[in-house]
Amino acid sequence: MNQKFETLIIGLGPAGMAAAIKLAQQGVHVAVVDENPEPGGQIYRQPPGDFVIEDKSFLGVRYRVGQDIIRQFNQLRDKITIFSETTAWGFFEGTTMALEHMGHIELVEFDKLILCEGAMERSIPFPGWTLPGIMTAGGLQKMIKYQRLLPGKRFLLSGASPLQLSVAASLVKDGAEVVALCEAIRIKDSLKLMPEIIRQKGLFKEAVSYLFPVLKKSVPILRPYSVISASGDNRIREATIARLDEDWAPIAGTERTFEVDTVSLGYGFLPVARLARLCGCAHVYDPVLKSWKPETDIFMQTSVANIYTAGDSSGVDGADLAEVEGRIAGTHAAAELGKISMDERDRQFKSLFHTLESIKRYSKVLNRVFSPRSGLFTIMEDDTIVCRCERITAKEVFAGIEKGFRNINEIKKTRVCMGPCQGRTCESIVTELMLQKGIPIEDIGHMTIRPPITPMPVFMFEEYAHSL
Ligand SMILES: Cc1cc2nc3c(=O)[nH]c(=O)nc-3n(C[C@H](O)[C@H](O)[C@H](O)COP(=O)(O)OP(=O)(O)OC[C@H]3O[C@@H](n4cnc5c(N)ncnc54)[C@H](O)[C@@H]3O)c2cc1C
C-alpha cells in the first residue's frame, strides 16, 4: 500500500522549507523529498554527515541567514515526513510520485504537489571547455565551502554573475591565487544595480563582505572580459581571455593568456523544472533568463490542478524570493485543503505580496543586467563540443538545422541532448544556436522528458517488478 499525503513537496531549499513550515503549522499531513541528507538546498547547504566546519564565518553571511529557516523547519520535524537522500524521478496517474532511495523504489500519493526543484548553472561552451580543471562557479564554491577542498592553486574566474565575487572571496580567504576575475558586464551596467543594493541593506553588507577580501588581495577584476579558450593535455594549463563588445562577442586583438590550473565559470542559473515538465505543466519562454519556465498564477499554481511550483524552479529570483513564494504556495494549498479559511489566506497574503513585490523589483534588475548576450554563444568554434554526454559538436547541430530540424525534439535526431542528462546541460545551448539561426522560439519549443528524469539503477526496476 502506497503512503499518501495531503501535500508532497519536492526540494528542501528555502522554497520547499518555507512551504513545509506553513503547511505543518496549519496541521496539513505533509511530506518532503530531497536528494540531500539535510535541508538547506543549494544556498543553505549543510556540511555532509559528521563533517564539522569549526570556523562558521567561512561559510559566509548567507549561511547565517539560512540558519533561521532551518531552525524553524527542524522545530516542526515531528509534524513532517522527510524523505532525505531520495530522488523524485517519475510522475504517474496524476497523483503518484515515484521516489528512489538507496536503490529502492517507493511510490507516494498526494492531494497537492509543490515542486521546488531549484536552479542549475548555465553552461556556455568555448574551445577547450570540457578539459578537467574547468568547473562551474557553484560547483567550485560547494567544494571550498562545504568539503573544504581547494581543487587547484592558480584560478581564473569568468562569467556574468554576482556569485563570481563570492567564489573569489572564498578562494582568497583559503589562500588560493586568483590571477583574474573576468566579468562580462560593463561597469555602467553594474551601476544600475546600486540603488537596489543600497535599498536592501542585507545585500549591501553581503556584497561588501565579498568585495573586501578580493580587493585586499589585489585580485585583478577585468570587465568586460570573458574566457574564450582553454588548452592543456590531460587538464587545463592555459586560459585565454578577451575583451567583449556591447553584444558580449570577443574583440579580436584584445586576447591575454594566463597559466592556470583551474577555471571557474559563472554565467548564472537556469530554472530546473524537470518534474514540472513531466507533470505536463504549461511553460513560457523567458528571454531574459534565456530559458523555459513553468507558467504560474500569483498563488504559484501551475496550469495543472493541484500542482504548484515555487522558488528558482519557477524563475531564478534568488533565495529570499524563493522563501516568500514557498510560503505563498503553502498558504494557498492549506486554504484549498480547507485547513484555513480563504479570508485568513488573504490576510496572510497581504504582507507576503508586499515583500514579494519589493524583492522582485531588485531581482528583475539583477536578471536583466546579468542576462547573457548572444555574442557569448559565438565564442564556440565548429568543433567545440556542445553536448558533453554524446560528444556532439556545434557543427553537427548546425548540420541538423540545415537539414530542416526546427524543433528541439527533432534536432535530437543528431543525438544532441540524447545522453544520460537528457539535455539538462545542453538544451539551453542548442536552443540559443537555433534562435541565432533565425528559428522562432515557438517553433523550437522545449524538450519532452520521460521518467526516470535522472539515471537510475536498472536492478531497482527488476526488484520492484518481482515485489508486485
Ligand atoms: C550551484 C549553486 C550555487 C549557488 N550559490 C549561491 C550563492 O552563493 N549565493 C546566492 O545568493 N545564491 C546562490 N545560488 C542560488 C540560490 O541557491 C537559489 O536562489 C536558492 O537556493 C533558491 O532556492 P530554492 O528553494 O528555489 O532551490 P534550491 O535551494 O536549489 O533547492 C532545491 C532542492 O531541490 C532538490 N531537488 C531538485 N530536484 C529534485 C528531485 N527530483 N528529487 C529530490 N530532490 C530534488 C535539490 O537537491 C535541492 O536541495 C546558487 C545556486 C546554485 C544552483
Rg of the chain's alpha carbons, rounded to an integer? 22
| 311 in contact with ligand 1, CB cutoff 6 A | yes
- Which parts of the chain have pLDDT scores under 50? none
The candidate with the shortest Cα–Cα distance to 372, out of 265, 289, 252, 272, is 289
DSSP string over 129-170? TTSTTEEEHHHHHHHHHHS-----SEEEEEESSTHHHHHHHH
Reported as a single tens digit per residue, the pLDDT across 109-141 is 999 999 999 999 999 999 999 999 999 999 999
Beta-bridged to residue 283, according to DSSP, are 294
Task: Report in angstroms the alpha-carbon separations of 459 from 73, 88, 89, 96, 345.
Answer: 35, 17, 15, 21, 46
Q: Reduced to 3 states, what is the DSSP secondary structure of residue 183?
A: strand
Q: Which residue, by CA, sits nearest to atom 41 of ligand 1?
A: 88
Contact (CB, 8 A) for 141 and 170? yes
CA atoms of 56 and 318, how far apart (whole Å): 22
CA of 119 relative to ligand 1 center, distance in Å: 5
CA of 170 relative to ligand 1 center, distance in Å: 19
Q: What pLDDT was estimated at residue 103?
A: 92
Burial, 50: exposed, middle or buried (Cβ in 10 Å; 0-12, 13-18, 19+)? exposed
Grid cell in block for residue 316: 531564478
Which DSSP helix (H) or strand (E) runs through 101?
strand 96-101
The candidate with the shortest Cα–Cα distance to 20, out of 35, 2, 1, 6, is 6
CA atoms of 142 and 145, how far apart (whole Å): 5
Q: Which residue, by CA, sits nearest to atom 2 of ligand 1?
A: 138
Q: What pLDDT was estimated at residue 200?
A: 73
Q: Which atom of ligand 1 is nearest to the CA of 34?
A: 44
Q: What pLDDT was estimated at residue 421?
A: 87
| 35 in contact with ligand 1, CB cutoff 6 A | yes
Q: Which of 10, 21, 42 to mutate to test the pocket of ligand 1 (most atoms within 8 A of CB)?
A: 42
Q: Which residue, by CA, sits nearest to atom 51 of ligand 1?
A: 42
Q: What pLDDT was estimated at residue 52?
A: 76
Output phi, psi for 261, to 5 deg.
Answer: -115, -5
CA atoms of 442 and 412, how far apart (whole Å): 17
Any alpha helices (H) in 147-244, and if so which ranges? 163-173, 187-190, 194-199, 201-216
| 452 in contact with ligand 1, CB cutoff 6 A | no
CA of 188 relative to ligand 1 center, distance in Å: 30
CA atoms of 313 and 275, how far apart (whole Å): 10
| 12 in contact with ligand 1, CB cutoff 6 A | yes
Beta-bridged to residue 48, according to DSSP, are none
CA atoms of 172 and 150, how far apart (whole Å): 11
The candidate with the shortest Cα–Cα distance to 265, out of 128, 116, 61, 382, is 128
Q: What pLDDT was estimated at residue 54?
A: 74
Grid cell in block for residue 247: 553584444
Q: Which residue, by CA, sits nearest to atom 30 of ligand 1?
A: 118
Domains of the chain (ranges, CATH numbers) = 3-120+270-340 (3.50.50.60), 123-267 (3.50.50.60), 381-444 (1.10.10.1100)
Reported as a single tens digit per residue, the pLDDT across 364-411 is 989 999 999 999 999 999 999 999 999 999 999 999 999 999 999 999
